[in-house]
């Protein structure tokens, strides 16, 4: 083993890797259980293994590339994401009235996942490279334009969940980056005032989701069905759960999309409160470690990028678990590292790879040059 490999293995953040791998291993078993008795999707666990291997490779590659390279290339990355969002609107595969996937031969990917990283990179670079200049209102309008373009294209697909995810994450980066609080408050007020306009552009099924969030019993066999069945599954699991592969709601496929969006209901039914607590604790450790990497980063760009990645995972976890237990409207976001899905898993591991590189840079000694 050469010195470069030893140096890398010594400097890599094994704590973060072990936390993420633990979640992925648990996710593999949950996906297997969720698809076990469904002939049409019973082999998805094999595809999940394939995507895991691709994801692991992606994490390794991105952990070896200096994160400053991605910061410098952030605008290129951003416009590639915008181009992909445009392509999917015209050439994407349509499922249930939504165009969210671009097919490349036997594989396909979701451009909104690429857009999330693109937005985080440009915000980290633009805000991180400026201090006093951020106090000029024109800078804020430029930031909003960079955020607004991908948001509109994602909403056009439509993919309300990914769009909603980007908003709070961007606000966190802007707040920590130095945008004045009063301007952020005005943005919040304007956003609230524009809700009637946003409501007008929502699809019928998205409006139904908002109605059934307030009272799922209004449409128990339609829009409210997923939430009702999910809450029943989680509640029936009790403290220790019904046992692996023994969840009735899961194995009889009463819950639609229980291997993707509603996979947390499988955990609640078969693993019970203790299983849910274990997963949430692993998420807590992962998020805490990510915020620690952001706090120790050597430059503002790296700190804001790590903060954005940590916030992205945290918000997505809250939204997914919240909608599964009926505390938030159904948005279609997956549970990171656990839900089935190639694009989500690959880009999540790519984000972890960037975090690992920022962490590795934090551990390297600073070279001081000059005359002594």
pLDDT computed for residue 101 by the predictor: 77
Q: What are phi and psi of 245, to 5 degrees?
A: 70, 15
Q: What are phi and psi of 238, to 5 degrees?
A: 65, -145
Tokens found for residue 116:
């999330």
Domain-located, residue 116? yes
Domain-located, residue 370? no
What sign does the dihedral 89-90-93-97 (CA atoms) show?
A: positive
Tokens found for residue 209:
């989701």
Nearest CA to 153 among 85, 80, 76?
A: 85
Start-end of H helices in the chain: 3-11, 14-35, 44-64, 67-72, 74-91, 111-128, 137-156, 160-177, 181-193, 195-201, 204-214, 225-236, 248-251, 263-296, 300-324, 342-363
Counting the structural domains of the chain, the total is: 1
pTM for the whole structure? 0.89
Q: Find the length of the chain.
A: 372
Spatial distance between the Cα atoms of 255 and 247, rounded to a whole number of angstroms: 11
Domain-located, residue 369? no
Tokens found for residue 46:
């094999």
Domain-located, residue 288? yes
The alpha carbon of residue 289 and the mean position of all alpha carbons in its chain are separated, in whole angstroms, by 16
pLDDT computed for residue 106 by the predictor: 66
pLDDT computed for residue 372 by the predictor: 37
- DSSP state string for 337-372: TTS--HHHHHHHHHHHHHHHHHHHHHHSPPP--S--
Spatial distance between the Cα atoms of 265 and 275, rounded to a whole number of angstroms: 11
Spatial distance between the Cα atoms of 19 and 149, rounded to a whole number of angstroms: 34
To 10 degrees, the CA torsion angle through 190, 153, 146, 143? 10
Instruction: Quote the radius of gyration of the chain (alpha carbons, Å).
Output: 21
Per-residue pLDDT of the chain (372 residues; tens, 9 = 90+): 566 666 666 778 889 999 999 999 999 999 998 888 776 676 788 888 899 999 999 999 999 999 999 999 999 999 999 999 998 888 877 776 677 778 776 677 788 889 999 999 999 998 888 654 555 667 778 888 888 899 888 888 878 888 888 888 988 998 888 777 777 788 778 777 777 776 666 666 667 767 666 667 666 666 677 788 888 899 998 999 999 888 888 777 777 777 888 899 999 999 999 999 999 999 999 999 999 999 999 889 999 999 999 999 999 999 999 989 888 888 878 999 999 888 889 999 999 999 999 998 776 654 444 443
pLDDT computed for residue 130 by the predictor: 64
pLDDT computed for residue 368 by the predictor: 40
Determine the 3-state secondary structure of 102 from DSSP: strand
Residue that has been written with the tokens 């648990």 in this structure? 26
Spatial distance between the Cα atoms of 169 and 150, rounded to a whole number of angstroms: 14
Determine the 3-state secondary structure of 98 from DSSP: strand
- DSSP state string for 71-95: HHTHHHHHHHHHHHHHHHHHHSEEE
pLDDT computed for residue 267 by the predictor: 93
Domain-located, residue 231? yes
Domain-located, residue 368? no
What sign does the dihedral 193-197-200-204 (CA atoms) show?
A: negative
Domain range holding 109? Answer: 3-363
pLDDT computed for residue 286 by the predictor: 95
Domain-located, residue 312? yes
- Longest C-alpha distance within the chain, in Å? 77
């Amino acid at each position: 083993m050469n010195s470069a490999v030893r140096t890398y293995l010594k400097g890599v953040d094994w704590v973060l890797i072990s936390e993420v791998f633990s979640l992925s291993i648990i996710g593999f078993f949950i996906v297997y259980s969720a698809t076990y008795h469904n002939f049409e999707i019973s082999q998805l666990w094999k595809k999940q293994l394939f995507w895991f291997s691709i994801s692991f490779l992606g994490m390794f590659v991105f952990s070896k590339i200096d994160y400053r390279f991605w910061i410098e290339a952030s605008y290129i990355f951003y416009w590639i994401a915008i181009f992909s969002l445009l392509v999917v609107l015209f050439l994407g595969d349509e499922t249930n009235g939504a165009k969210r996937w671009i097919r490349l031969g036997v594989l396909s990917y979701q451009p909104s996942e690429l857009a999330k990283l693109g937005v985080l990179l440009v915000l980290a670079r633009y805000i991180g490279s400026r201090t006093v200049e951020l106090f000029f209102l024109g800078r804020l309008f430029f930031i909003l334009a960079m955020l607004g373009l991908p948001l509109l294209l994602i909403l056009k697909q439509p993919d309300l969940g990914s769009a909603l995810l980007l908003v709070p994450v961007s606000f966190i980066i802007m707040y920590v980056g130095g945008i004045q609080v009063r301007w952020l408050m005005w943005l919040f007020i304007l956003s609230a005032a524009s809700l009637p306009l946003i409501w007008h552009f929502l699809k019928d099924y998205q409006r139904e989701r908002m109605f059934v969030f307030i009272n799922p019993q209004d449409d128990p066999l339609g829009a409210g069905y997923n939430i009702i069945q999910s809450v029943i599954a989680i509640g029936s699991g009790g403290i220790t759960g019904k046992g692996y592969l023994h969840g009735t709601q899961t194995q009889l496929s009463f819950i639609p999309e229980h291997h993707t969006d509603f996979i947390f209901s499988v955990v609640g039914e078969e693993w019970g409160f203790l299983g849910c607590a274990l997963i949430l604790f692993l998420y807590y450790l992962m998020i805490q470690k990510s915020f620690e990497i952001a706090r120790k980063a050597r430059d503002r760009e790296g700190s804001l990028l790590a903060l954005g990645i940590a916030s992205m995972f945290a918000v997505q976890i809250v939204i997914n678990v919240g909608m599964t237990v009926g505390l938030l409207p159904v948005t279609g976001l997956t549970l990171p590292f656990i839900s089935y899905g190639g694009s989500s898993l690959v880009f999540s591991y790519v984000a972890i790879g960037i975090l690992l590189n920022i962490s590795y840079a934090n551990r390297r000694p600073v070279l001081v040059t000059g005359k002594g």
